[in-house]
Structure 1
């Protein structure tokens, strides 16, 4: 990496849908370093090895769902303030409330427009300073 290029902030997207993963990666890739996981166990491995600034979680996944993964991550002291956004096709008030109780910082419903996702990311992350 050249010294005049600021490192990209890292986002981890956890979703068992390859199509959703590709849409999120395509929407954010030019501005963020996007890591992908398709289950909770892999996601926990990634966050233990990488420094991430935002966690995007689907709710409906086999095994450990997004609510449980959100609670698990929130219970780890180093991730107490990590922005966690649910990105899901579930759109009931009960789901939104459970996400808040699990510790989610935000909630987006799929299909998620790229501009809306970018706007949420912009609110959650302060931009890195440009270096020239």
Structure 2
């Protein structure tokens, strides 16, 4: 990995959709180092060895969903302040409340505009 990539803030996106993974990479890669994984197990292996600036997390995933993963992260002291942006197609007020209760910092619904995502991530990375 180049020194330039190492110095860029890292965004981890956890989504089982290859399309969403690619969209996030295309949207953020000019300004951020983007790591993608399709499940929570992959996310855990990354999050413990890489300094993550922002976590983008899908709600609906096989095995462990994003809400449960977010709740688990919030119980660990080193991840209590990590910005977590839920990116999901679930858009009811109840879904948004569930996201907040699980510990999500922000909530973005699919389909999203690339500018929305850049702006939201930018709020947490100086």
What corresponds to 2:10 in structure 1?
Answer: 10
In the alignment, structure 1 residue 84 sits paired with structure 2 residue 121: no
Q: Deviations over 1:41-76 (max 9, x none)?
A: 111111011110100000000000000010111111
What corresponds to 2:41 in structure 1?
Answer: 41
What corresponds to 1:97 in structure 2?
Answer: 97
What corresponds to 1:27 in structure 2?
Answer: 27
TM, length-normalised to structure 2: 0.94
Root-mean-square deviation over aligned CA pairs: 1.5
SS of 1:23's partner is: helix
Structure 2 CA distance, aligned partners of 1:2 and 1:72? 32
* Greater relative CO, 1 or 2 (CA 8 Å, sep 6+): 1
Structure 2 CA distance, aligned partners of 1:101 and 1:6? 33
Higher Cα radius of gyration: 1
Shift of 1:6: 8.1
What corresponds to 1:73 in structure 2?
Answer: 73
What corresponds to 1:113 in structure 2?
Answer: 113
Gap runs ≥5 in structure 1: 127-132
Structure 2 CA distance, aligned partners of 1:6 and 1:18? 24
Gap runs ≥5 in structure 2: none
Matched pairs, number: 125
